[in-house]
Amino acid sequence: MSSGANRIDACLSVSRHSRRPGVWPFIPAGFPHRALTADLLCAAADGGASGIEVGFPFSDSIADGPVIQEAFAAALANGVRVSDVLAGVADARSQVAVPLVGMVSASIVYSIGVEAFMTRARESGLDGLIVPDLSLEEAPRCAASATANDLRLAMLVAPVSSEPRRRRIAAVASGFLYYVAVRGVTGARESLASDLAAQVENLRTFTSLPILVGFGVSTAAHVRAVCEVADGAIVGSAIVRRMLECTRRGGTSGAVQSVTRDAVATLLARVD
């Protein structure tokens, strides 16, 4: 991919002008088994995803709630490795036109080596990365390496982050800012934070980057509310829970794909 052709930039540029609800589902790679990753990415895209987060299984994730942790534990128990995740992305890339963003722990990036990981990520077909436990002090090095590989490095902004810190985060980020809508770990919530619009408005006062909102977003009504103020909604636990329930019932690979596709489509359903 040549510089300037990054799918994240292209997708979010369209989103900002269309103002249509956009869902960015989180798909745990390697769950329920290694061979299904590419098929599930395709299923999410078929369901109408604007972009897809690809979760790299990790045993000590700091922000994932019990639903995603369970899926990651199952993937790790099946022996899923980083190479399997990247292979799944590569297999899906020719079939999936939307952006693919890796959600990966800094420990994984550092264990492989920043430059080596970025190169492998680009070669697999990823368009960007989210490294939720990346320190702000280490972020510039990762950002530079990402840019050299035409990847985007999205950065998380928490509700409790001070404005000076938010400005520092925005300055190093590329692609988009990921606003964490609720305190705590990932997981479905009954309602969105009452200050969501004000928080997003604050971010827009000092950055031109698109803003995606995640954590707690779990229904079509949530997605539409988020997209009234932001550029897209990231949904993880609400989708992964349905995948888990399907596997517990003994669902086939085809059934898990159908559930994934339908879960994304449901989040884009009209809310009257």
Residues carrying an active site annotation:
53, 64
Amino acid at position 71, single letter? A
Q: How far is CA 106 from CA 43, 129, 164, in A?
A: 28, 11, 23
> Which 8-state DSSP code applies to residue 63?
S
CA distance 127 to 59: 24
DSSP for 229-262, written as a single string? HSSEEEE-HHHHHHHHHHHHTT--HHHHHHHHHH
Are 127 and 98 contacting, i.e. CB atoms less than 8 angstroms apart? no
Q: Which residues have a Cβ under 8 Å from the Cβ of 136 and sit 6 or more positions away?
A: 165, 168, 169, 172
Are 195 and 179 contacting, i.e. CB atoms less than 8 angstroms apart? no
CA distance 114 to 146: 9
The alpha carbon of residue 234 and the mean position of all alpha carbons in its chain are separated, in whole angstroms, by: 6
Does an H or E element contain 142, and which? Answer: helix 139-148
Q: Which residues have a Cβ under 8 Å from the Cβ of 119 and sit 6 or more positions away?
A: 149
Peptide bond into 32 cis (omega under 30): yes
